[in-house]
Amino acid sequence: MSQPRAKCGWRVPCRWAALALWIGLILAGANTRAFADGGTVRLSQTQGPYRITALTSPNPFRSGPVEINVLVQDATSGDALPDANVRLSLALRDEPDEARLFVAHSGATTNKLFHSATFQLPRAGEWTVSIDVEGPAGTARTSFDVTAGERLPRWVSFWPWFSWPFLVVALFAVHQTLARATPSAAHPLSTNNSSQRGGDGDNLGY
């Protein structure tokens, strides 16, 4: 004798698949929003044929993962120059000879006007950031100083990932309070009925 198929038997795997997809997308995409707003303006000045603006993230600036965005514009017309080449050089003020070099790419950040470089800043301290621009009107160089604070403990950047259950607990507490105050049908998960105790299994010795 064959068993008729459950009418909505695919709902459960579909829901689980949707949940897995959602979690996967969140896990994959959570990084991409980190510094989407550009950051703190550190420098905006005309240097040679260009107007150069530099922004840093995070705010406050600290060692660990950082992003530096540079906007290069034509000094005369104000037109953005996304095709210019931008190189960054970072050195601790006390150790000017040990510079770290990065290339800032246009397209590496959400706002395609900017040239962006994302990297790990190794230490806290006074850093000098030099910007070299090479564009259609020639080259230009400028720099700014920035103080980087101590790196935050790793768990700080993950706190939403282990604290959201407490929000769920709070919501559940509210739900239970409201559910108790509101007459309703028996809870679906309540399966405590006498028919499930004992029964044929006892008599059959299974």
Partner 1 sequence: MNPAFDAFLRSWPSNPALIVTLLGSAAVYLRGWVELRRRAPARWTGAHLLAFVSGLAAIFLALGSPIEPFASLLLSLHMVQHLLLLMVAPALIWLGAPFFPLLRGVPATIRTHWIGPVLRARVVRRFFGGLTHPFVALPVFIAAIWIWHAPGPYVWALRSDASHYLEHACFLAAGLLFWYPVVRPYPSRPSWSLWLLMPYLILADVQNTLLSALLTFANRPLYAYYTEVPPLAGVSPLADQAAAGVIMWVPGSVVFLVPLFAIGVRLLFSSPARVVTARTAAAPRTRTPHAQTTFQLPVLQSAPAGGFDLLHVPLIGRFLKWRHARVALQLPLAVLAGAVIVDGLHGRQLAPLNLAGVLPWIHWRGLLILALLVAGNFSCMACPFTLPRRLAGRWLGFGRVWPHWLRTKWLSLVFVALFLWGYETFALWDSPRWTAWIVVSYFVAAFAVDGFFRAGTFCKYVCPIGQFNFVQSLVSPLQVKVRAPDRCASCHTHECIRGSSVVPGCPTRLFQPHKSSNMDCTFCLDCVHSCPHDNVGLIAGLPGAELWRNPFRSGIGRFGTRTDLAALVVVLTFGALTNAAGMVGPVVDELDQLRTWLGDPPAWVTTTLFTLLGLVVLPATTVGLAAALSRRCGQFAGSVVDLATRFAYALVPIGFGVWLSHYSFHFLTSWETALPATQRALQDLGYTFGGEPRYQCACCRPVGDWLVRLELLFADAGFLLSLYAGYRIAQREAARPSRALAGFAPWALLILMLFAAAVWIVFQPMQMRGTLPGGG
Query: Which residue's CB is nearer to partner 1, number 91 or number 129?
Result: 129
Degrees (nearest 5) of the Cα angle 24, 26, 31? Answer: 115
Q: Rounded to whole angstroms, how far apart are CA atoms 91 and 120?
A: 13
Compute the distance between CA of residue 116 and CA of residue 70 in angstroms, rounded to an integer.
Answer: 6
To partner 1, the closest distance from the beta carbon of 96 in angstroms equals 27
Nearer to partner 1, 95 or 173 (CB): 173
For residue 97, the surrounding DSSP H or E stretch is none
- Is the Cβ of residue 95 or residue 159 nearer to partner 1 in the bound state? 159
Closer CB to partner 1, 27 or 101, in the complex: 27
CB of 159 to partner 1, least distance (A): 10
Q: CB 152 → partner 1: shortest distance, Å? A: 12
Closest separation in Å from C-beta 184 to partner 1: 5
CA nearest neighbour of 115 among 160, 54, 200: 54
Nearest to 136 by CA among 77, 76, 78, 85: 85
Based on the number of CB atoms within 10 Å of its own CB, is 51 exposed (0-12), middle (13-18) or buried (19 or more)?
buried
